[in-house]
Structure 1
Amino acid sequence: MPARKMNQAATLPDAESHVEGFRQVRHNRRTELAEDYVELIADLIDHGGEARQVDIAQRLGVAQPTVAKMLKRLVGDGLVQQKPYRGVFLTTSGRDLAATSRERHRVVEAFLLALGISEETARVDAEGIEHHVSAETLDAFRKFTMGR
């Protein structure tokens, strides 16, 4: 890459803008796990009528104690309810968060597919991108895919 191009790429945004970008990324990382859990719980309930801890662990590729710890956090956040000897249930807030997360995933995946990305790669990449895309960018993705 020519030196002039590299110097242009190295220009830093003002400090306030820079801080806001990193603040947003940190926030998204904190909420990403909760969103993945409630989205998966909603999918399990929709497809099998229940979401069990063992199924959540299997689908996420983590140990059951990891799921138990996260479910405790989600209960505390008011997103799920657990009942002894029964599965995990979403609260109204949990269902709303799952629906929002599903929609973001759907839009991001549709955008990637419209760019010619393979179905498998688009599905996997959308899993990460969906948590970090702004409302403005998501709207642009939506408009791009609807105009095709």
Structure 2
Amino acid sequence: MVLHESGEDYLEAILVLRQQKGNVRSIDVAQHLGFSKPSVSRAVSILKSNGYLNMEKDGRLELTPQGESEAQRVYERHRFLSEWLVMLGVSPEVAAADACRIEHDISAETFECLKRHVRQYTQDNPS
């Protein structure tokens, strides 16, 4: 199953909220992303049916191993791209917004090459 950009955003939000709060419920995701509760409920249902998350009896959202892997992948891209754009002089707010758009479209090959280039540059040019 191909995970679409919105699904990646939901998984990333659940991961981030779990790191911040511990337990995550649909209402937390709705508030974090600025979406309606019905929209989040629909997305949660789709992500559950595709094996990316489970909803516990008490309403907590739990990422499956597959969901955790996808969320970590997207979040790593987001953090790296945001930091890289800030290093280039982009404001943190714009960098975060741009990273959110880029993280979904950049290929794995390009992302790995970019990480390797940035690591090499920072090793050759310490602050």
Normalising by structure 1, we get a TM-score of 0.75
User: 1: CA distance between counterparts of 2:99 and 2:111?
Assistant: 12
Q: Quick one: percent identity of the two aligned structures? A: 34
Q: Is the 8 A contact 1:111 1:141 kept in 2?
A: no
TM-score norm. by structure 2 comes to 0.87
Q: Give unpaired runs (5+ residues) of structure 1.
A: 1-26
Q: How many residues align?
A: 120
Which residue does 2:17 correspond to in 1? 44
Aligned twin of 2:59: 86
Q: Which letter maps to 2:96? A: R
Distance 1:74 1:91 in 2: 10
Matches of residues 97-112 of structure 1 in structure 2 within 5 Å?
97-112=70-85
CA distance in 2, matches of 1:140, 1:113: 19
Question: Rg: which structure is higher?
Answer: 1
Any residues of structure 2 matched to 1:14-25 within 5 Å, and which? none
Query: Of 130, 135, 138, which residue of structure 1 is paired with 2:103?
Result: 130
Work out whether 1:73 is the aligned partner of 2:75: no
In the alignment, the residues of structure 2 paired with residue 136 and residue 50 of structure 1 have an alpha-carbon distance, to the nearest angstrom, of 34
Q: Is 1:80–1:91's contact at 8 Å kept on the other side of the alignment?
A: yes
Say what the alpha-carbon RMSD is for the aligned residues: 1.5
Specify every segment of 5 or more residues in structure 2 that has no aligned partner in the other structure, as ranges: 123-127
